[in-house]
């Protein structure tokens, strides 16, 4: 699949097509909408160590770090927490493929639950407040209301694991629930607040990128009403239905570039982002109301499409008659995107 990769010499980010084999991770360059036949590079997994979650870049919370036995660092970015955890588990399995005992230990740690003895919640909170290594506080939007100095549930789970307070997401969620029960943190917004009413203690704190929390002693939330929220912010307030990397043809130059697509409902919008840029702002997007979406045949190059493309194309026509040509990585992925988009048109 597609993943942004940080360069070694020039520390910029390039999107590459990754293929995981038993002993190596290959990555390919995409040129003109088609994968080049020879890999651009390879990461040998023998002796590799993996760090996930990796929080070394504040603006890139979904990183996986691979350190080879020659001490070369590779940073790979995923488009969602679920995709990151899936890649990390598969890569870890490949690293330890020749060591069955280590694989068994990996699954035991993943599924076990054993909190650190004599753990101090006060110590965790003090570390969370640290300006350089603590939890990053950001502004977030929830159903038209903006909240200052908040963090998401998944961000706190990542932070607890990366700071060795927990070894699994299950442990981290339990720790976060304890912090909430002891009134160190509190839920913010509808989704996380409603979860606290659950009878199941493990479901009161949400390991989710849309559930918001803040320090309990923080100043009162600073919100703005729905009427005051600008239109472009309201576009981004919908529930995320699907997200992933797709290849899109440009409108003017007709070149093909990998973009991170985010599909939202209520309101129904499809936005796309440049995954090589630091700022997490859409470079384009459109309302799905009145749109037409359809698959394009793979035999030959359809009208309106330029370049020697790989296939698995689909087209979205907006109600203003703007045509978007998009390429998925497989027929199955194309079907999934079309089926997700159609109900929102």
Cis peptide, bond prior to residue 53, ω within 30 of zero: yes
In the numeric block, the tokens 């003109």 are attached to 32
- Rounded Cα distance, 202 and 154, in Å: 14
pLDDT at 18: 95
**DSSP, residue by residue, 125-150:** HHHHH-TTTSPPPEEEEETTEEEEEE
Degrees to nearest 5, angle at CA 219 with 213 and 221: 55
Domain ranges in the chain?
Answer: 2-111, 121-215, 237-342
Q: Which two tokens stand for residue 203?
A: 């479901």
The answer to whether 345 and 293 are in contact (CB under 8 A) is: yes
- Rounded Cα distance, 102 and 154, in Å: 27
Q: Which two tokens stand for residue 302?
A: 């359809």
What are the phi and psi torsion angles at 121 (to 5°)? -65, -35
52: closest CA among 22, 16, 93, 17? 93
pLDDT at 298: 67
The answer to whether 50 and 32 are in contact (CB under 8 A) is: no
Question: What global pTM score does this model have?
Answer: 0.67
pLDDT at 96: 83
Length of the chain: 345
CATH number of 2-111: 2.30.29.30
In the numeric block, the tokens 């350089």 are attached to 132
pLDDT at 230: 40
pLDDT at 231: 38
Architecture of 237-342 per CATH? Roll (2.30)
Q: Give pLDDT tens digits along the chain (345 positions).
A: 999 998 766 778 999 999 999 889 999 988 877 788 888 889 999 889 999 888 888 788 889 999 988 888 999 999 888 899 889 999 998 988 755 555 555 555 544 444 455 567 778 888 899 888 899 988 887 766 788 889 999 999 999 999 988 888 888 888 898 888 777 898 988 888 888 877 666 678 899 888 899 997 753 444 443 333 343 677 777 888 999 999 998 877 778 899 999 999 988 999 999 998 877 788 889 999 999 999 987 666 677 777 767 788 999 999 988 899 999 988 999 999 999 999 999
Architecture of 121-215 per CATH? Orthogonal Bundle (1.10)
Q: Which residues contact 216 (CB under 8 A, 6 or more apart)?
A: 183, 184, 185, 186
Max CA separation in the chain (angstroms): 67
Question: Do the domains 121-215 and 237-342 sit in the same CATH topology, yes or no?
Answer: no
The answer to whether 30 and 247 are in contact (CB under 8 A) is: yes
- Rounded Cα distance, 218 and 230, in Å: 26
178: closest CA among 211, 213, 204? 204
For the chain, the straight-line distance linking the first and the last C-alpha, in angstroms and rounded, comes to 27
pLDDT at 225: 37
119: closest CA among 153, 169, 160, 162? 160
Ranges assigned E (strand) in 182-283: 185-188, 212-215, 239-249, 256-265, 269-273
């Amino acid at each position: 699949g597609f993943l942004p990769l940080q360069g070694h010499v020039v520390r910029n980010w390039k999107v590459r097509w990754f293929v995981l084999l038993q002993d190596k991770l290959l990555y390919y360059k995409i040129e003109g909408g088609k994968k080049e036949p020879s890999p651009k590079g390879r990461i040998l997994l023998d002796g590799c160590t993996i760090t996930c979650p990796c929080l070394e870049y504040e603006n890139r919370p979904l990183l996986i770090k691979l350190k080879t036995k020659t001490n070369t660092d590779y940073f790979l970015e995923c488009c969602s927490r679920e995709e990151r955890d899936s890649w990390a588990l598969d890569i870890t399995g490949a690293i330890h493929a020749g060591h069955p005992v280590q694989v068994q230990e990996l699954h035991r740690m993943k599924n076990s639950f054993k909190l650190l003895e004599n753990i101090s919640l006060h110590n965790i909170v003090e570390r969370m407040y640290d300006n350089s290594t603590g939890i990053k506080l950001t502004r977030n939007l929830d159903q038209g209301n903006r909240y200052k100095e908040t963090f998401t549930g998944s961000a706190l789970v990542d932070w607890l694991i990366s700071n060795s307070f927990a070894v699994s997401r299950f442990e981290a969620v339990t720790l976060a629930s304890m912090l909430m029960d002891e009134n160190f943190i509190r839920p913010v917004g509808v989704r996380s607040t409603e979860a606290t009413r659950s009878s199941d203690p493990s479901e009161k704190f949400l390991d989710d990128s849309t559930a918001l929390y803040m320090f309990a002693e923080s100043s009162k939330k600073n919100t703005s009403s729905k009427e005051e929220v600008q239109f472009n912010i309201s576009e981004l307030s919908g529930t995320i239905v699907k997200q992933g990397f797709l290849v899109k043809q440009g409108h003017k130059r007709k070149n093909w570039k990998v973009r991170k697509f985010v599909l939202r409902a209520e309101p129904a919008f499809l936005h796309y982002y440049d995954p090589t840029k630091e700022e997490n702002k859409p470079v384009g997007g459109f309302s799905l109301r009145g749109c037409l979406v359809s698959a394009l045949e793979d035999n030959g190059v359809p009208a309106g499409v330029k370049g020697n493309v790989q296939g698995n194309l689909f087209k979205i026509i907006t109600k203003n008659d703007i045509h978007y040509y998009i390429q998925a990585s497989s027929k199955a992925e194309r079907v999934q995107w079309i089926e997700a988009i159609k109900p929102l048109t």
